[in-house]
Structure formats: structure tokens, C-alpha cells
Structure 1
Amino acid sequence: MVVIRLSRGGAKARPFYNIVVADKRSRRDGNFIERIGFYNPLAKGGEEPLRVAQDRLSYWLSVGAQPSDTAVRLFKQAAKAAPAAA
């Protein structure tokens, strides 16, 4: 099964997450199929905290990829922020 989940990066106490499409059997930070965005929980000032490629997200959801609970929460947050930015 293909899942959409977060892959952790960054330094100790400075998390940075890539939103990736991966095979469910692969490790959290291991191989992935495609990177569709990122989430920076410690973004300050002019830094962008969240970016999601909506076209790729809709494609992967249409072919049956299952998002994690955290990914669903971030997608809702991105959808809410997108009309405000446009």
C-alpha cells in the first residue's frame, strides 16, 4: 500500500519534515516515491511553515494513497491558508 506521511529531517531539537509518498513497508526516513511538500514547525518571521503541491496530492489520493492522521491535519491547514494567500 502507498501512504502519504512525514519524513523527519533537521538537527536535534530543530525538526523539519518532508511530506512524502512512500510504500508502507519502507522506514519513516527511508526510501520514498515522491516528495510533495514540507512542514517546518519552528518557522519564524518570513519563513514558510508549510508547502504542499496540491496537484500531486490530489493525484496520489485519486490513485488510492492513504494519508497519515498528521498529514490529513496539515492538508486541512494548507487548504485553509491557500485562499488567504491567493
Structure 2
Amino acid sequence: MIKIRLKRFGRKKLASYRIVVIKSSARRNGRPIQEVGFYNPMTKEIRLDNTSISKWLNCGAQPTSTVKDMLLKAKII
């Protein structure tokens, strides 16, 4: 199964996240199929690649609950 989920990066206590398309059995920081966005919880910055996300959702990728909330706010879902 393919998931759209967050991949953590950045320093200790200053985490940022990449929104990635990845196999559900892969590690949290494993190699993604594609990076489709960015989220910084400190500044509340969210950048999304709408066309890629829509393509993956049409192919059957399942977003995690956190990513689903972001996509609902951005009106992609």
C-alpha cells in the first residue's frame, strides 16, 4: 500500500517535515517514491504540490490523518 505521510528532518527540537509518497512498510525516514510538500510547525508554513498529490490520490494512495487534515485545509480533498 502507498501512503502520503510526513518525513521528519531538521535539528533537535526544531523539526520540519517533508510530505512524501512512500510504501507503508518503509521506515519513517526511508527513501520516498516522491516528495510532494513541506511543513514547518514552528512557522506554520505549508507548501504542497497540488498536481502530484491529486495524481497519487487518484492512483489509490492513502494519506495519514495529519496529512489528510492539511489537504482538507488546502482544499485538495
| TM-score interval (norm. to shorter) | over 0.9
TM-score, length basis structure 2? 0.92
Which string of whole-angstrom CA distances, capped at 9 and with x for unpartnered residues, describes residues 13-54 of structure 1?
1010000000111101111100000000111xxxx7001101
- Where structure 1 has 5 or more consecutive residues not aligned to the other structure, the ranges are 81-86
- Structure 2 unaligned runs (5+)? none
Share of identical aligned residues, percent? 39
Instruction: State the shift of 1:77 in Å.
Output: 2.2
Q: Take 1:77 and 1:54, find their aligned partners in 2: how far apart are those partners? A: 12
Q: Which residue of 1 aligns with 2:60?
A: 64
Instruction: Give the aligned partner of residue 50 of structure 2.
Output: 54
Q: Which AA in structure 2 matches 1:71?
A: V
Higher helix share: 1
Larger strand percent? 2
What is the aligned partner in structure 2 of residue 9 from structure 1?
9
State the partner residue of 1:30.
Answer: 30
**Deviation >2 Å, runs of 4+:** 77-80
- In structure 2, the residue matched to 1:19 is 19
RMSD value over aligned CA atoms? Answer: 1.5
Bigger-Rg structure (1/2): 1
Per the TM alignment, residue 78 of structure 1 is displaced from its structure 2 partner at its CA by 2.5
2:71 alignment counterpart: 75
- Alpha-carbon shift at residue 73 of structure 1 (Å): 0.7
Q: For the residues of structure 1 that align with 2:74 and 2:48, how far apart are their CA atoms?
A: 7
